[in-house]
């Protein structure tokens, strides 16, 4: 299965624990990692969210959702079920800016 940065995949995150979120997830790891390792970095997507400063709004399969950048995690590719779609370029830019804002000191 080919996995690219900014693809959205349906992901089996079971068993989840506590406040972890399961199902559609955005691949945020770079393609150098995605194409050479058995793991990927993902950010889950939820439709049940408030507007938090660490979340990016999007439309997925006709529903409003949020990319939950405050719950980034590394998973094995065996958890990937199927590709849903590739993220729109405008949303990619928002995700990049939010990650930079969260993790990179100026």
d(C-alpha 85, C-alpha 76), whole Å: 20
For the cut 90, the answer to whether the pLDDT of residue 101 exceeds it is yes
Which tokens hold the place of 44? 């889950």
pLDDT, tens digit, 9 for 90 and up, residues 37-78: 999 999 999 988 777 899 999 998 889 999 999 999 999 999
For the cut 80, the answer to whether the pLDDT of residue 16 exceeds it is no
Question: By C-alpha distance, which of 21, 6, 13, 36 is closest to 99?
Answer: 6
Output the CA–CA distances (angstroms, integers) from residue 7 to 15, 18, 80, 104, in the order listed.
23, 26, 11, 23
Confidence grade of residue 31 (pLDDT, cut at 50, 70, 90): very high
Question: By C-alpha distance, which of 7, 10, 3 is closest to 32?
Answer: 3
What's the pTM? 0.90
CA quadruple 73, 76, 80, 83: dihedral, nearest 10: 70
CATH architecture for the domain at 7-103: Roll (2.30)
Task: Write down the domain spans for the chain.
Answer: 7-103
């Amino acid at each position: 299965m080919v996995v690219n940065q900014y693809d959205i995949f349906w992901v089996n995150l079971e068993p989840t624990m506590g406040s972890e979120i399961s199902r559609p997830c955005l691949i945020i790891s770079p393609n150098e990692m995605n194409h050479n390792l058995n793991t990927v970095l993902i950010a889950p997507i939820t439709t049940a969210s408030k507007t938090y400063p660490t979340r990016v709004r999007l439309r997925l399969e006709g529903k409003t959702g949020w990319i939950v950048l405050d719950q980034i995690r590394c998973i094995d590719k065996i958890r990937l079920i199927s590709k849903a779609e590739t993220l729109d370029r405008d949303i990619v830019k928002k995700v990049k800016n939010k990650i930079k804002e969260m993790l990179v000191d100026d």
